[in-house]
Structure 1
Amino acid sequence: MGSILIVGGYGTFTEELINKFYKEKWHIYTLTNSQKLVKPAHVFEQYTFAYDSASVEEVITSCRPDAILFMGAYDPLYRWEDDHVQEESLNYIAGLSNLLMAAASFGVRHFVYVSSDRVYEDEYAVDIREEMPASPNSFQGMTISQGENLAMHFNATTQMEVTVLRIARMYGIPVDRESCTDIYSKMCMKALVSGRLYVNAKKVLSALYVKDGVEAVYLLIDAPERKYKLYHVSSREEVTEDKVAELIREKYSHPVEIVDRTIGLRQRVILSNERFCSEFSFQVRTGYEEMIPMIIAHMKRHKNLFLHGDEQYGGKRLRDRMLRLLKKAVPFLETVVFFFPVYILNNRVADSIYFGQINFYLLYVLLFAVVHGRRQAILSALLSVIGYCFGQMYTTSGFSLLIDINTYIWTAQIFVVGLTVGHLKDKFRETEEDKNERIDFLADRLSDITVINSSNTKLKNYFAEKLISSAEGVGRIYEITSRLERAKMGEVLFSALDTLSEIMETKDVSIYLVSNESYCRLASASSEKARSLGKSLAMADYAAMFDVLIKKQVYINRSLDTELPMMGSALFDDKGNMRIIVLLWNIPYEQMTLYQANLLSVVGALVYAVVVRDADYMDALVYRRFLPGTGILQQEAFESMLDIYRNAGEKGYAQSSVFYIQAEGMPLTELNDKLRLLLRETDYVGMVQGGNIGVLLTNTNKNESAYVKARLEENGIATYQEKKI
């Protein structure tokens, strides 16, 4: 139990949140910037102020909330129409900034910013994880993304915990026509009103039921602590537009026409909620196949809330048919009813000096032709002719009227004018409908073109950057090889980390040495993330990766498994034996391409060539580096290795530990044989000043070195932490 301040308007999502927190016995306060909203029953206190006003700080001081929930992307008070999008964008960022500053100054424990999948507006072949950068294209998407960055900045610079929660587009059972804003209720509404659905089979839909979204928000806020600052919540339920349309057609009693408008590229944006589900034990309980029939049933029961007066009658019952027939007959009845006043008026003013020359029948026909079209023009013209004939028979006989040429001229005049105007009215109405359909069609095309253009722009910028920087040019390759060749003996692997990090554009690089056919040992790593697989790596435990590497192919983590590197490459000797493994972490998904894989292979080959040269050179100088008949380094060579690992440790590339031993009368050859059995191949033993013998344990920290020293003590070799003078 606690207190929460919910900032936003009262939409379906907000109302469900209020009900949820009320059931869990939380004190609920709301802050809204609309004077028209009525406080819900479960809200303890409602404050009405602009989000960017100075009164916000007083509101937070007054209610003292444990958590503030900023509805953000799901606040119904923000209008993102084209006419107001820039103004709303400014209000959005200003209001959020003011709320964050006020909350931070008061010392609010937890601030939650509700974002949405609108920050991703490109095409993604895989589920989008939290690590993948946002790609907004619209003003709304860019504004929401800027809000995320602002929230993250406050999280990093203040003591307040700020969490960004990206919730995939939500849907629910709408209250009325205005609340049909989500993808599913919009389609149900269109099917109810027009009986026609335009679908794009390449558009993949995925939405989260509002009550599942509310449950996720509550779990996040109620948790005592959170491991991450950014979470995704989604249903991960994929369905295409045409499948949803088929389900809607099955559930409606009246016929629904599905028009296939499949064009453009595949549109897929689905958030991965693995992080949230694993931490908070969250499960999606409701699917679209269950909820769409409930939405349709609700719309059928409350047609008066979803249909306008002229749309009410779409049923198949006799009553509905009669009402529909009456609706169609109303214009004709209106034409007949209006005829009688026109007939009386025409007869009364026939002898008038001022109004006698006015043709009321012609005005009557023009009026109904302009308002209703050709059908009513024909009926009104026919009634006008009948009225005219009756009026003329007061002064002449029917036979005289029948042979009078003026009668036919007057009749032709009425029908020509009425039919012409009515035809123009009908053509105008058809043109308007065609225009609206064309606009909808072009809007879909524009959306596809925008996605295609975004993808092309990314490719253009990427290759332009590569061309300008010439990172893979001949000069750049020469610089790489020169830098590696200038490295000291034994320092090549550490220099290779800088080279790989720069070329492959990632700060997380690790290099493993293959000790035998089944194990690898960490030689150097540039970060803690790069060390996450451990210092010893059993190939059998990572078969998915090594099955690819052993085939001399570049491994690409297309499943985006967080426990595995994003890319990896193996380097082989002349006999085809795997010798070195290069692993890269935290590479953007858009850079995991065949081009990058080839680049990694080329750079890796350069690194391996220099490593082999370095090893051969050191083997050639073995007589100058080792004491005769042993593997114990001479003093100069050993101190050089100490400097190399000391510098690598300062950069965070490698761990090492040093301690000392004394031969105590034991011949060096005998000591060398013992140490060879007790130490690893990657460890170094050498002479130091004062006649001491030093042991350099690579890839080992001080705590881990205690096990090695204990093993040496058990075999009669005394160890010392400091040199003995």
Structure 2
Amino acid sequence: MKVLVTGGYGFIGSHVVERFEKEGYEVFIIDNMSSGKVENVNCKHKFYKFDVEDKKCEYVFKNNNFDIVVHLAAQINVTTSLEDPFLDTKTNILGLVNMLELSTKYKVNKFIFASSAAIYGNNQNIPLTEEEIAEPLSPYGISKCVGEEYCKKWNQIYDLDTICFRFSNVYGPRQGLIGEGGVVSIFMDNITKNKEITLNGDGEQTRDFIYVSDLTDALFKAAESNISSGVYNLSTNSRSSLNNLIRILNSLKKIKGIIRKEDRKGDIKHSSLDNTKIKKVLGWIPMVSIEQGIKNTFDWYSINYKTEENNIEKKKLKHNDKVKRYLPYIENVALFILVIVLSTFKNGEYLENTMDLKLAYIFIIGLTHGGKQTIIATTLTSILVTVENILKGRSVFTLPLDTNFAFKIGMYILVGVILSYIFERYLKKEQSQNKITESLKNEYDLLRNVYNEILVEKSVLQEQVVNSENSFGKIYGIIKKLDSLESQYVYSEAVEVIEKILKVKDVSIYSMDKNNKYLRLIVRKGKNDINMPRTATLDYLKEAKTNIFNGELFINKNLDMDIPMFICPINDDYGNPIALIMINSVKFERLTLHFVNLMHVVTNLIKTAILKAYKYEEAMRDKRYIENTPILKREFFENIKSIKKDEMEKNKSEFIMLKVKNKDKDVNSLSHLIFKTIRKSDYIGMTSQDDLVLILSNASKSDSHLILERLEEKGVQAEEYNEEYMYV
């Protein structure tokens, strides 16, 4: 089965992904990586980097038939929701609607939505049941409340199974420093850095903390259950204050100190959710106590969370950002100083330059940085020109009246404005082009990923078609073994065909006499779990008699241990049973309609091959047998002997050969005496040395003495035929 986890690289999502993968699901992740980390997930999965509100998500649904969608992607910071409600709404509502729409369109079986205890607001009817009125205090809580309503209506309108879970404060390994349960990781981060803990309020505010493994267990059980809709609290139904949390942490590592601040806007004073409903419906109970959960989290945090390295990396990034931010100013000032140096005094006189360095300076800054830097360059140049004129003895009050001065300043300003306009226009055009390019690149990357996935699936399917055990080529190769006109050869290969196609370990074929009373083993492959005798009366299979004479497949529905699981009769054109195919030792989980249908196909192929062989043998009787005798001619007898040897090597089928010693008697009369003694599955024939030899199928060396005595009673003298492959 396939499951899609949105926000699968996040704190909760990564645990959900690992749980479903562990249970045998094929897992897919959609995550925009805003807070998730690739290293959070160490199991097999497929990843798509999209926002959940992005229409490109349809590609993911279109190319994967998801059975379950677990929607965890969200903006989870209460403070952010207050500062930027639009961002909160975009992710938490538009993203949800997009997922619901795609789940309906592509026929997802079940949709699980992660809601929050934040929808209850500051309700003091603790523990809070699912029937309490929703009174959220923040846009985050509002978005979750609206999300639940969307799920409810989607279930009613589109018949999509939607389950909403109101999470209490989740904590555990891999948790970030934001979100409702983030207080645990924030405290641990400060303890690890040996910093003081910042506590908002008096610390008596309570939370219903739930360990992440308990939560993922509930989500998985819900996915596997028959629940089709509803809202459920997912909590421990307990209250733990922040002061108690600090006490537990202090027992693990000494806390440096506590900084107390005012309550945060939008925070809830007390929170505890009643989990009676989910415990009753799912049979789920939380297993991890707050003390054990905090210890597990602290142990993971101490080992895996490299705070110092993170801080160093953050400082480097901040430093690089500052350098990038101030670099244009530094370059501008440096170039201006260079202009001053080149325009400085020499022997008390100004240099008379053929090129206006100030104008060149404005051009260079305008073309490289544009906008703000061009204005700065123009201003600095105007100041420099003014200073130069003052140093020449000009009055600052008369300078504006000087047409040359005014023209020069005006020219600098005009050039600066034009360059700034050109640069800004070019920059906007470039940014627009970059956005288009980025969009096309994302589209290409998506199509490339889809193409690669389809290519992999194609290769897998091609491998299955060409090389798998159920491929057309291999099935044809197996069935081809039945393409023979020798009935004994068909019987011999039939058990192997059944074993390979049906994947069973105990197959046998019995022949039935003309009177429909006795069964005689022709060939067996496997261990004979039910100890079916080599010779038996039809009454041994009395439960299957009706099916046998009607030519119908018998299925041992009562699971009687003394008879085979399946019996398939092979009846001739007149409806008379000539042989029975018996199959046993089939694994219980394979007893499906598909298995029965496959058995019908295989046994019908075998039946067709055997009847064809019998008809051929009957048509060729004059050529196969010595005239007026049941004795096979040399060519055909040698062929039967070869088949028996192969059976012995492949299926461990026993047989013995006896040579007739009566040289003085007529072969015709001898053959009729012998034929009355042997069975339908036995053969008489002439060897290449002109010896009259009997082949007794499924008879061991210990049986030979009894058979020799019977022949002697009929006046036939015989002895064991000494030849290689004579016995097993």
Name the TM-score, length of structure 1 as normaliser.
0.39
Larger radius of gyration: 2
Name the TM-score, length of structure 2 as normaliser.
0.39
